[in-house]
Structure 1
Amino acid sequence: MRVASLFKIALAVLFAASASHAAEAGDPEKGKIVYSKCKGCHQIGEGAVDRIGPHLNAVFGRRAAAHDGFAYSKSMQRAGVDGLIWTAKTLDAYIENPRALVSKTRMSFRGMDDPEDRANLLAYLRAFSDDPSNLPEAEPTARGTDHDLDPEILALQGDPDYGEYLSSECVTCHQADGSAEGIPSITQWPEEDFVVAMHAYKRKLRPHPVMQMMAGRLNDEEIAALAAFFKDLQ
């Protein structure tokens, strides 16, 4: 089906919804205006191609970093392997503060504070995905985490020797040599990124159930120690 036809059908479905549902889903016509903030890097619609950022057709329901042919950052690739799926909730978190959800993302956009603008933008983007009437999507599997983590936790100085002692369970899955064959590498991760990620698992903001269980066993000092060990692991 042509994308233009799909968009027309999407608009009809969205405007046929109840007033309360429309408020929740956002207004795609207003979202088209908000999209002007995105179009310098992203194209959408019929004939859209990758530019500085990937095109945004069919982004809903897609795993992060799964669009073939685009060179994603390592952080975005890790998020995809970790299980991040683009839904209304996760896209909302990413648009609000990109680096809070995917640290070290190459997207230079600072974020969009206004929740109504985000809802409208998402309604517009949703019209270019496979099933635009399917709103809202499932509960989010990841949310922003960087900026609400206690600074005292980030300031902890971990003991790398203790981290090495604790790392035996980590390296049963993550390769100590830094290779990433289906499982993302954690070797030479910046300490802050490591700590933020592990606390996101503890709080079940990141989706991997095994990592949630593993992180849940660790206290703040142990996480800091692991971060210090893996930061300098060659």
Structure 2
Amino acid sequence: MKTFIKFFTLIYFTMHFIGSANAGDVKAGEKVFNKCKACHSIDEGGKNKLGPNLWNIVGAPIAAVEGYKYSKALKSYAEEAGNWNEENLTAWFKKPKDLVRKTKMIFPGLKKADDITNLLSYLKANGK
């Protein structure tokens, strides 16, 4: 019985550590977002700029921020992909034109995996 308890305790803490390692740092994500601020706002009810407001973007329908004129390419991608999620946002942050070839977004992408994870955490924290 002691071996059983030790085994499951080890599994629990291992899984907890792995989950923590994959979680991003919101503060670090805010710093990464500084690269996005020239084109995007992230305030609830904030205005669209050159790019759409990103408040509550995680889980939101793609190409659906009110008042923003999206490219045909992103609208087409939205029809097949539906909503922004961790998987497609990660691909988007890595290199937008690899996800949607004819997007009008000119940002080349983030190179560091930690920056992508942290930005995703920051965006999640700035939503409902």
State the TM bucket, normalised to the shorter chain: 0.7 to 0.9
Listed one character per residue, the Cα deviations across residues 1-41 of structure 1 (whole Å, up to 9, x for unaligned) are xxxxxxxxxxxxxxxxx554232121001111111100000
Q: Matched residue of 2:75: which SS?
A: helix
CA radius of gyration, larger in: 1
Paired letter, 2:36: C
Correspondence for 1:109 among 104, 107, 118: 107
RMSD: 1.4
Q: What TM-score do you get using the length of structure 2 for normalisation?
A: 0.82
Correspondence for 1:51 among 42, 49, 52: 49
Percent of matched pairs sharing the same residue: 37
Listed one character per residue, the Cα deviations across residues 130-149 of structure 1 (whole Å, up to 9, x for unaligned) are 2xxxxxxxxxxxxxxxxxxx
Q: What TM-score do you get using the length of structure 1 for normalisation?
A: 0.46
Q: Which structure 1 residue ranges, 4+ long, deviate > 6 Å from structure 2?
A: none
2:29 alignment partner in structure 1? 31
1:186 alignment partner in structure 2? none
Moved more, 29-38 or 42-51: 42-51
1:187 alignment partner in structure 2? none
1:190 alignment partner in structure 2? none
Distance 1:97 1:84 in 2: 19
2:120 alignment partner in structure 1? 122
Listed one character per residue, the Cα deviations across residues 44-94 of structure 1 (whole Å, up to 9, x for unaligned) are 124521000000001011121111211000001101112342111110000
Q: Can you give the 5+ residue segments of structure 1 that lack an aligned partner in the other structure?
A: 1-17, 131-234
Paired letter, 1:41: C
Greater RCO between the two (CA within 8 Å, min separation 6)? Answer: 2
Q: Matched residue of 1:124: which SS?
A: helix
2:7 alignment partner in structure 1? none
Distance 1:32 1:19 in 2: 23
